[in-house]
Amino acid sequence: MANVPLSRDIEAFRAIEISHLARQLSARGRSVIHMEFGQPSDGAPAGAVAAARAALDEPDMGYWESVPLRKRIARHYAEDYGVEVDAQRILLTCGASPALVLALLTAFAAGSRVMTARPGYVAYRNSLRALQMIPVEVECGAADRFQISARAIREADPKPDGLIVASPANPTGTIIPPAELAEIAEVCRVRGIRIISDEIYHRLSYGAETHSILQYDPDAFVINSFSKYYGMPGWRLGWIVCPQALVADVRARAGNLFLSPPSLSQQAALAAFDCEEELDARVAMYRRNRERLIACLAKLGITDIAPSDGAFYIYASIAHLTDDSLSFCKRLLEDTGVATAPGLDFDPDRGGRFIRFSYAVTTDMAREACTRIEAWFRDNFPNAG
Ligand SMILES: Cc1ncc(COP(=O)(O)O)c(C=O)c1O
């Protein structure tokens, strides 16, 4: 039997390459500011860390899934969106990444065509390919807030089997307005297109409200995690909300592929729900970082920026400076110690002309990054501003 090259066409994250270089610089004693990953620099909130410490003394560190945490997540849907979700429909996963794999594997067969926005999170394209599915990437621009529109879905020919939406999105942070999200749900219902909504950046918005797809489509899959708002990326914990009819199918796949989520993280995550004050203070800090960075970039002549409604990203065009964002990011890092992500990760076509900054850093780090970038521009692009 012929070998099927399962990893065919799966590219590595360029941001990981940048991060690797950044760590080498740190090891050599250089001061590095990490803005390449969407990773809150503050870590887990204090209440979550305390709960984890206390849990270390408990005997039950085996394979289990926390019922209180699933119930708490169900309550979150009622409180934040006014949507009743039976806790039975919620499965805990090792982050949003396995939740995406579970949703794709349960909803679609190999060969299925699934629409995603370009620019978009690189793992959508690559997870689809790894599962022998076909990413149908729709080039999105400023007119549609870099998001797939209901119109694009209505006009898609042939009809895709599925759609992945993310609002706020990575890399842009743009949010789909509620009327548009409702229309997307309606078009998908009429055309028989299954929706997976990646809501990992919910609770991170700076004006526009975030709405769950469950407000418009009870049969959508939702994936989410504790990696972003809750500041717990390395704790590897997330969840999936499944359509009622598919809960047993998802559970069967989850058990076989991933067994159970980390016990310690489940204890910590339950406590994280009570840390809103600390976490919301961080969102306020991200808001200030965002304003500072936008003002800094404007001074340097970088003004073509996707509307950064939420998440903690700025996705900016540097087309007037380069069409090789990877080399640009490497040079910026080597010269200044500021690590950023090249747009190529999110858009293989136009991404050479874009850069993504993550501003989930402390106020001091954001201030220092701006100082270094401004000095670098004065030396390298004196006429840019
Ligand atoms: C849009 C999006 N979805 C999913 C993930 C994966 O997150 P997790 O750490 O929960 O696996 C990320 C991580 O950056 C992301 O940006």
Q: What is the pLDDT of residues 176-212, one digit of tens each?
A: 999 999 999 999 999 999 999 999 999 999 999 999 9
CA-proximal residue: ligand 1, atom 7 (nearest): 96
Taking the C-alpha atoms of residue 284 and residue 211, their distance in angstroms, rounded to an integer, is: 20
Q: Quickly list H helices, the chain.
A: 14-27, 46-55, 67-81, 96-107, 122-130, 150-155, 178-191, 247-258, 263-272, 276-299, 325-336, 363-380
CA diameter of the chain:
64
Element (H, E) at 238: strand 238-241
Angle of CA points 280, 282, 285, to nearest 5°: 120
Contacts of 178 (CB under 8 A, 6+ apart): 209, 211, 215
| Low-confidence stretches of the chain (pLDDT beneath 70) | 1-8
Instruction: Output the CA 96–ligand 1 centroid distance in Å.
Output: 6
What is residue 305's predicted lDDT score, i.e. its pLDDT? 95
What is residue 372's predicted lDDT score, i.e. its pLDDT? 98
Atom of ligand 1 nearest to the CA of 237: 10
Atom of ligand 1 nearest to the CA of 311: 16
What is residue 385's predicted lDDT score, i.e. its pLDDT? 73
Atom of ligand 1 nearest to the CA of 225: 10
Q: Which residue has the tokens 């009809």?
A: 159
Instruction: Output the CA 10–ligand 1 centroid distance in Å.
Output: 17
Atom of ligand 1 nearest to the CA of 233: 9
Instruction: Output the CA 215–ligand 1 centroid distance in Å.
Output: 22
Instruction: Output the CA 200–ligand 1 centroid distance in Å.
Output: 7
The tokens describing 151, both together, are 């119109």
List the chain domain ranges: 14-43+276-380, 61-272
What is residue 8's predicted lDDT score, i.e. its pLDDT? 57
Atom of ligand 1 nearest to the CA of 236: 9
Q: Which residues line ligand 1 (CB under 6 A)?
A: 38, 95-97, 121, 166, 170, 198, 200, 225, 227, 233, 238
State in words which class domain 14-43+276-380 has.
alpha beta
Instruction: Output the CA 44–ligand 1 centroid distance in Å.
Output: 16
CA 331, 334, 335, 340 dihedral sign is positive
Q: How many CB atoms lie within 10 A of CB 281?
A: 11
* pTM listed for this prediction: 0.95
CA-proximal residue: ligand 1, atom 16 (nearest): 170
Instruction: Output the CA 238–ligand 1 centroid distance in Å.
Output: 10
Q: Which CATH number fits domain 61-272: 3.40.640.10, 3.40.50.150, 3.40.50.300, 3.40.50.880?
A: 3.40.640.10
**Identical fold, 14-43+276-380 and 61-272:** yes
